[in-house]
Amino acid sequence: MGYEERLQELLDELDLFQDWTERYEYIIGLGKQLPPLPEALKTDDILIKGCQSRVWLHTESRDGKLILAADSDSLITKGLIALFVRLLSGLPAEEVIKADMSKLDQTGLKDHLAPTRANALNSMAGQIKQAAARIASGS
C-alpha cells in the first residue's frame, strides 16, 4: 500500500470519531503503540528541530525503502510522529520524496493543534523528506 492509500485509510479512521477529543485519544493511542526507541539511539543528532517536545526520529534504508523509528517525551507528539511512521515507513525513498505532505491537512490536525505543535508537523515532515532524499541519492 502506497502513501495515498495509507493516507486515505487514516482519513477514513479519523472520520469514525465524533469529536476532536476522541481523535486526540486515537492519535495518542497510535503513539503508545510505537515500539520504544532504544536509549542508545536517542541522541541529539536525531532530534527533530522546531518541536516543543523532544522527538527523536531514527531513519535507515532497507532495499531503497525508508524505515522510520521514532519516540517522544510527550504523548501527543509521540502520536503525531506515529502518524508519519504509519504513513511513510517502508515506502520507497522516491515515493516519500514525492508524497504531498500538505494532504495531511485533510485530517484537520493543524486546525486543532497549538501553533507550536502544528509547526512540529512541518518539522517532522521536512526531516523525513531529507532522510528520503539522502537514501535516494545514495549518501
Catalytic (active-site) positions: 51
Q: Which amino acid is at 91?
A: L
Q: Report the candidate in 96, 92, 117, 93 with the shortest Cα–Cα distance to residue 31.
A: 117
Element (H, E) at 80: helix 75-88
* CA–CA gap between residue 53 and residue 75 (Å, rounded): 10
